[in-house]
Amino acid sequence: MKLGIVGLPNVGKSTLFNAITSAGVPADNYAFCTIDPNVGTVSVPDGRLTWLSDFYKPKKTTPAVVEFVDIAGLVKGASKGEGLGNKFLSNIRTTDAIVHVVRCFDDSNVTHVEGNTDPLRDIDIINLELVMADIEMVERRVDKCQKAAKGGDKRFLREAEVFSRLLAHLNEGKLARTFEGSEDDLALIATSDLLTLKKTIYVANMDENQWAQPENSAYYRQVKALADGEGSQVIPICAKLEADIAELDDPEERAMFMEELGVAESGLDRLIRSSYALLGLISFLTAGADECRAWTIRRGTKAPQAAGKIHTDFERGFIRAEVIAFEDLKAAGSLAAAKAKGQVRSEGKEYEMKDGDVVNFLFNV
């Protein structure tokens, strides 16, 4: 999973990126401090994998990972090449989803590129640039389809009609992901590489005094209402505090500090959890003396395709999957005890994997 962290200059993108990846990239108080995208890979926190590793004591433990890309701050006119616009937009295209950092605090010591704090205006600036970039792509798609349809090909005629309606939607300043159409229409639009189709999590970057009770902030409430209206998610985070948490190497110290703050989980954990939910992702696990590992798949993936994540031979020669829910394995205390209770199931090619399945795939090639 690859997430692009975006936002206007100086809203806390790089501070957040530093905190969640401990990458130590520059986070200075001036525009375009981030020019090339910084990339950091972080492990997905998973208590189930920790338990399996403690139990099996394998030679190797491999968690699922998320790749974060800290992309340069965007300014007005980016779709026309202003600032670092074209580079910024091309970097977003390679991501699975967007983490849009929005400044929701006032601080005269931190320069705001637009002069003052206004989260809805800031969101509009970025969304408008993405929409304008999408308009250019859709115009080209419509033109291409219309030319191809001159021979009367109904497929291209329909494609031109669908994308023409989408173009009208975008010209109203609306995002592609809010376009309403039939399942077939939306499936056709999904074949395009549009920026405003990407699912988005808004990160409301708040000050230390308000982030724990975000509903008390008018700025946060504005972002929440906007996110709810477009089917996106919003997470309140204080990037500065996240940076303080990240500096604590000792897990016990970190846990104590978070307890003092009254937080059950870090902003990173909440961000990853939201990203999985937003993209419809789950994890299954494999365990043994050699390796315990978490694998990320899309919800609804069937057993042979999940096996193919491990090795193509597993999918090609799939026979069956021996499956147990993690919670059943943990409660039983061992695989042998779970088998004695009849909790280990034999599943075939049509089985849809569940989050937390602990699996042994049987195959023959």
- DSSP sequence for 140-178: HHHHHHHHHGGG--HHHHHHHHHHHHHHHHHHTT--GGG
Q: How confident is the model at residue 72 (pLDDT cuts 50, 70, 90)?
A: low
Please tell me the pTM assigned to this model: 0.80
Query: Where would I find the H helices in 179-266?
Result: 183-189, 218-230, 239-246, 251-261
Separation of alpha carbons 2 and 99, rounded Å: 10
Q: How confident is the model at residue 83 (pLDDT cuts 50, 70, 90)?
A: very low
**What is the average per-residue pLDDT within 305-312?**
95
Separation of alpha carbons 152 and 184, rounded Å: 20
User: Under a CB-based contact definition with an 8 Å cutoff, are residues 353 and 315 in contact?
Assistant: no
pLDDT at 143: 94
Please say if the pLDDT value at position 274 is more than 50: yes
**What is the average per-residue pLDDT within 258-279?**
83
Please say if the pLDDT value at position 152 is more than 80: no
What SS3 state is found at 188?
Answer: helix
pLDDT at 73: 55
Q: How confident is the model at residue 69 (pLDDT cuts 50, 70, 90)?
A: confident
Amino acid (one-letter) located at 7? G
Separation of alpha carbons 219 and 294, rounded Å: 38
Query: To the nearest whole number, what is the mean pLDDT of the chain?
Result: 86
More confident position, 266 or 360: 360
More confident position, 73 or 309: 309
User: Under a CB-based contact definition with an 8 Å cutoff, are residues 99 and 271 in contact?
Assistant: yes
> What are the pLDDT digits (tens) for 166-212?
999 999 999 999 999 999 999 999 998 898 999 999 999 998 888 88
Bridge-based pairing state of the strands 65-70 and 233-237: unpaired
Q: Encoding tokens for residue 232?
A: 């996106």
User: Under a CB-based contact definition with an 8 Å cutoff, are residues 74 and 10 in contact?
Assistant: no
Highest mean pLDDT among 23-37, 117-131, 303-317 belongs to: 303-317
What SS3 state is found at 107?
Answer: coil
**What is the average per-residue pLDDT within 306-319?**
95
Separation of alpha carbons 133 and 79, rounded Å: 5
**Residue from 176, 167, 129 nearest 145 by CA:** 167
Sheet holding 291-298, edge to edge: 60-62, 291-298, 281-286, 357-363, 318-325, 345-347
Please say if the pLDDT value at position 281 is more than 80: yes
Please say if the pLDDT value at position 326 is more than 70: yes
Q: How confident is the model at residue 25 (pLDDT cuts 50, 70, 90)?
A: very low
Q: Which residues lie below 8 Å from residue 126, measured CB to CB, with a gap of 6+?
A: 6, 7, 8, 74, 100
pLDDT at 77: 55
What SS3 state is found at 313?
Answer: helix
User: Under a CB-based contact definition with an 8 Å cutoff, are residues 208 and 238 in contact?
Assistant: yes
Separation of alpha carbons 298 and 63, rounded Å: 16
**What is the average per-residue pLDDT within 143-161?**
88
Work out the burial of residue 334: count CB atoms within 10 Å of its CB; fewer than 13 is exposed, 13-18 middle, 19 or more buried. Answer: exposed
Separation of alpha carbons 284 and 295, rounded Å: 5
Please say if the pLDDT value at position 56 is more than 90: yes
What SS3 state is found at 206?
Answer: coil
**What is the average per-residue pLDDT within 220-236?**
92
More confident position, 109 or 226: 226
**Residue from 245, 160, 233 nearest 203 by CA:** 233
Q: To the nearest 10°, the Cα dihedral for 331, 309, 198, 222? A: 20
Q: How confident is the model at residue 50 (pLDDT cuts 50, 70, 90)?
A: very high
pLDDT at 68: 83
For residue 155, give Cα distances in angstroms to 144, 146, 187, 189, 298: 13, 11, 14, 14, 30
